[in-house]
Structures are given as C-alpha cells and as structure tokens.
C-alpha cells in the first residue's frame, strides 16, 4: 500500500533532476483518490536537456557490442522479476488494474526484455551472392539515434518494454515520456534500467504533459525516431508535426475489435472469451472487444448468458483478490464512457445491463463504471463504430458468416479480431478475410505473445509492428555492404555484353 506521497524527479544524463520551472503535478489513484506521488511538470527546456544527453550518449552506446547491450537487458529482466510483486502492487494503485492483470503487465515486460536481450546475439542481416567475381555482399542493421518514446497509461510497464528494449538492443538511446496518469511506474522502469547498468544518458525520463513534453520530442530536430501508443487523433497530429524533419514515426493507435460468434460455436466458451475481452482491464485496452457479432440462431441465448455473466462481476479496488473489474483511469474517462451510454440509448440500441457510474461500497472514492452491454445494435451506430475505451460492448445480429465478416471489417480500425466456430472451413476463411493485424480462433481479442508482431491495419497505425522480429525494423536502418577483393575496378550494373 502506498502511504506517503513522495516527490520524484526527471532522470537526465544519469542524474535525478527537477524540472527547470520547478513546477510539479500529482499522480492520483483512480481506485480511491490516494496521492501516489508528486512529479516534475517539465517543459521544452527539460526535453532539450534530455535529448542533448541522449545524443551525446549515442556515440558510445552504438559502439557497445550488441551482445553486451543484450546482457544489460538480461539483468534488467531479472531485476523486474525480483521486483514483480512490488510493481504489481503499485500498478493496482496507480493505474487501477486488478492484481492478476497487473502481474501480467509486469510479466510481459519481463518476457519482452528477455526476448530482446537475445536479439543482441542475432540482429540478423543477409548475405547474398554477387553478380561479379571476387565480390562479397551483405546487409546489416544500423542504429538510428535518439528515440522519443511516448507511452500510455493502460500498460504502464509492458508498453515501455515493447519500445525501449528493442530500441536499446539495436544501439539507440532513449528519451522516455510516460503517461501523466502513471508516472511512478515509468519512474520505476527507468530506475531498474539504471540499476541494470544502462550507461548515463542512454535512457532519460522526462515527466509532463503531451502538449509540452510530447510535442517538443516530436518536433525536436535531434530525435529521428518517435514511437507512440495513443489515440488516432494524437497519431495524426504527431505525423503532421514530425513531417518537416522526415522522422521515422511508429504509431500504435485505436481499435474497435469484434468477436464473431457463429451458430455452431461453444457458447459457454464464447461467453468466457467475450467477458474477458470486453471487461478485462475495464475495457481499457486497444484490443478490447467492444463489438460482438452474433449469428441470429444463437443471438438470444448468447445475450442472456452474457448479461448473466457480466452482472456477476465484482467491481472494486485492484489490490483485493476477489475484484473482477477495477476503476477507469480518471474522471474524464468516466464521463466519456457514460456519454457513450447516452449516445447508444439515443441511437435506439437496447441497454441490456450496466450503463451507469457505480457508487456505494466505497466506490464513490474512485472512478467506477458498471459493465455495460447493448443489444439490437446496428453496425453503423456510433457505439459500434467509435472507440469507447471502457467496459462497454455492443451485440450485433447477423444472418450468416459472410455478413459477420463484412460487419467486422466495416470500421476504420483493424487491430484485433476473433471468431468462435467449430467449422474449420469458416475458421480458415476468417483467418484470411478478417482485415486485422491479429485474428484469434475460439479465443477473445486480447492477449499477445512477445515473439510475434503486434499491431494493426487501417487507422490502427501506420504499418509498423511491435514485438517479435518486426519491432527491429522500427529502430534500425538497413545498410548494404559490398566488398570487392578482385584487386581491380569492377563496374556493377554496366552492360558488358558484346
């Protein structure tokens, strides 16, 4: 339990320092209003100092052998393992996740760090035969420079690891801006990196808002790479503001994910998958299932089972073992979620359960919303098209498989998708035809493994991926090498035919 509100600092060039302005902000628990800590409210001046430190550190860090960089990440992963219980407890307070999910968030950072540490002994390029005699060809990955890392509050340990671990093993340096709702978790992440042996200036953390800190990172001429997880609107703004410097921009944005349930599905399994996907992390995941597309033959039965399951979920603080659903992150989020309930009712959807701010039993101290299910939803309603980012899902009735796929694809996003069916033919058609970066068969829409690419299509991002080998493409540039050992000038791509 966090009891004393401590004051924390930025970490720049290996030193803990206050914001240049001396201004601060508080991190407050969404679960009970407790003050977690006081943090520097930084400005462009602080970003400039951090970028200068990272730029200087890059010249030495890029020359550290990649296996040695990987060894530091191995030590970091072990440290996170040692501190897993404390980080989990902190996350239940600062972010609001229930204990099991908070532990999973931390474990994902452990897994990602071990995986990327291993890349220090791979970072594969290619060798190819040359078209000329006595000539050797190969390609290799090169680090780019300073990476601006901007992360959200919903995975405050896992997502930084998705970005920072591959950036470091590839030889880049980092300026990290964590979300203002979860700054202490970001702080602890960097403290453990420093303890693991990351040299001064290689990783820097600057606390503060997106308008001051994030925007300066995006516009800074000495930050060639920006990796952001956030909303579509923020992503568009980042691309626009970075355009003058032709930066490498990696965006992981929104989702409006659907679970398809066909007539032949195992309905009890489907209900389990829907409840986990719609209400896990209180619906505050980019992969959350905010649509359930149900074939008409099982619609009524599934709706009944789903409502019953949702109404059994216990709301409460995340650090209590019997809590199923924790708070949403802040008052603004709570009001947005409630506004979508009103939109759904006004559009003519049928409110089956939930749809209200939860009060009583101590819930008034935090930001809680009852798990909400709409029925009789038309696929073009706003609640079926727009990302709500809360514990709300919409049931959409369809006639057959083909209509289900059309409805699933009929949105601007393309992150995660799911189908419950016993028909192997339809399962494989779904794998092919669902326009999303992730497709699950007989499982929900959430959950990922660190050795496969994570990301989406359409407005979910700009074509890059996190995790797996694909993540390395964000943080490296390819360089082609030609070694001519013939001892004479050989002109490539010259027509020598007589």
Pick the CATH number of 6-253+461-480 from 3.40.50.2300, 3.40.50.1950, 3.40.605.10, 3.30.300.30: 3.40.605.10
The band of 61, judged by pLDDT with boundaries at 50, 70 and 90, is very high
Spatial distance between the Cα atoms of 2 and 89, rounded to a whole number of angstroms: 9
Task: Give residue 136's pLDDT.
Answer: 97
Task: Give residue 1's pLDDT.
Answer: 42
Above 80 in pLDDT, residue 493?
A: no
The band of 461, judged by pLDDT with boundaries at 50, 70 and 90, is very high
What mean pLDDT comes out for the span 458-478?
96
**For residue 213, which of 264, 165, 148 has the smallest C-alpha distance?**
148
Above 70 in pLDDT, residue 498?
A: no
Each residue of 365-400: pLDDT tens digit?
999 999 999 999 999 999 999 999 999 999 999 999
Above 90 in pLDDT, residue 497?
A: no
Catalytic member of 34, 170, 286, 466:
286
Task: Give residue 449's pLDDT.
Answer: 96
Catalytic member of 94, 252, 387, 466:
252
Q: What pTM was estimated for this model as a whole?
A: 0.96
What mean pLDDT comes out for the span 262-288?
98
Each residue of 316-357: pLDDT tens digit?
999 999 999 999 999 999 999 999 999 999 999 999 999 999
Count other C-beta atoms under 10 Å from residue 481's C-beta: 11
- Active site includes 286? yes
Q: What kind of architecture, by CATH, is found in domain 257-441?
A: 3-Layer(aba) Sandwich (3.40)
448 in Cβ contact with 155 (< 8 Å): no
Residues of the chain with CATH 3.40.605.10: 6-253+461-480
Residues of the chain with CATH 3.40.309.10: 257-441
What mean pLDDT comes out for the span 274-303?
98
């Amino acid at each position: 339990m966090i009891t004393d509100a401590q004051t924390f600092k930025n970490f720049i060039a290996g030193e803990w320092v206050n914001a240049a302005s001396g201004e601060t902000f508080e991190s407050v628990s969404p679960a009970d209003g407790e003050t977690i800590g006081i943090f520097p409210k930084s400005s462009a001046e602080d970003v400039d100092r951090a970028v200068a430190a990272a730029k200087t550190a890059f010249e030495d860090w890029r020359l550290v052998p990649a296996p040695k960089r990987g060894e530091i990440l191995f030590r970091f992963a072990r440290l996170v393992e040692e501190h897993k219980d404390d980080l989990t407890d902190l996350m239940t307070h600062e972010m609001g996740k229930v204990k099991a999910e908070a532990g999973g968030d931390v474990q994902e950072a452990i897994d990602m760090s071990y995986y990327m540490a291993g890349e220090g002994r791979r970072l594969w390029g290619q060798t190819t035969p040359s078209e000329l005699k006595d000539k050797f060809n190969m390609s290799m990955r090169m680090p780019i420079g300073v990476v601006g890392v901007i992360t959200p509050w919903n995975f405050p340990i896992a997502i930084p690891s998705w970005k920072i671990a591959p950036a470091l093993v590839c030889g880049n340096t980092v300026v990290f801006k964590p979300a203002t709702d979860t700054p202490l978790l970001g702080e602890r992440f960097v403290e453990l990196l420093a303890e693991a042996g990351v040299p001064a200036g290689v990783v820097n953390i600057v606390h503060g808002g997106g308008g001051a800190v994030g925007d300066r990172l995006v516009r800074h001429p000495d930050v060639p790479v920006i990796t952001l997880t956030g909303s579509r609107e923020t992503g568009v703004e980042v691309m626009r503001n970075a355009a003058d410097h032709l930066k490498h921009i990696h965006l992981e944005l929104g989702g409006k994910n659907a679970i398809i349930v066909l007539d032949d599905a195992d309905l009890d399994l489907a209900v389990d998958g829907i409840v986990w996907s719609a209400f896990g992390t209180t619906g505050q995941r980019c992969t959350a299932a905010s649509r359930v597309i149900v074939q008409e033959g099982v619609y009524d039965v599934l709706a009944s089972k789903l409502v019953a399951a949702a109404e059994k979920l216990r709301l409460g603080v995340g650090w209590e073992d019997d809590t199923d659903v924790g708070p949403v992150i802040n008052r603004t989020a709570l009001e947005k979620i409630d506004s979508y309930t009103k939109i759904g009712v006004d559009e003519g959807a049928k409110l089956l359960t939930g749809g209200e701010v939860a009060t009583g039993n101590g819930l008034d101290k935090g930001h809680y919303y009852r798990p909400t299910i709409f029925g009789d939803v038309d696929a073009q309603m706003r609640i079926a098209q727009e990302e709500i980012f809360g514990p709300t899902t919409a049931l959409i009735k369809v006639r057959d498989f083909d209509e289900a796929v059309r409805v699933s694809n009929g949105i601007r996003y393309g992150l995660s998708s799911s189908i419950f069916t016993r028909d192997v033919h339809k399962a494989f058609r779904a794998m092919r035809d669902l326009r999303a970066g992730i497709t699950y068969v007989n499982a929900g829409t959430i959950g990922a493994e660190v050795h496969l690419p994570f990301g989406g299509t359409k407005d979910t991002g700009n074509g890059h991926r996190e995790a797996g080998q694909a993540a390395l493409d964000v943080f490296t540039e390819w360089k082609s090498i030609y070694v001519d050992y013939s001892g004479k000038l050989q002109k490539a791509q010259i027509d020598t035919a007589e």
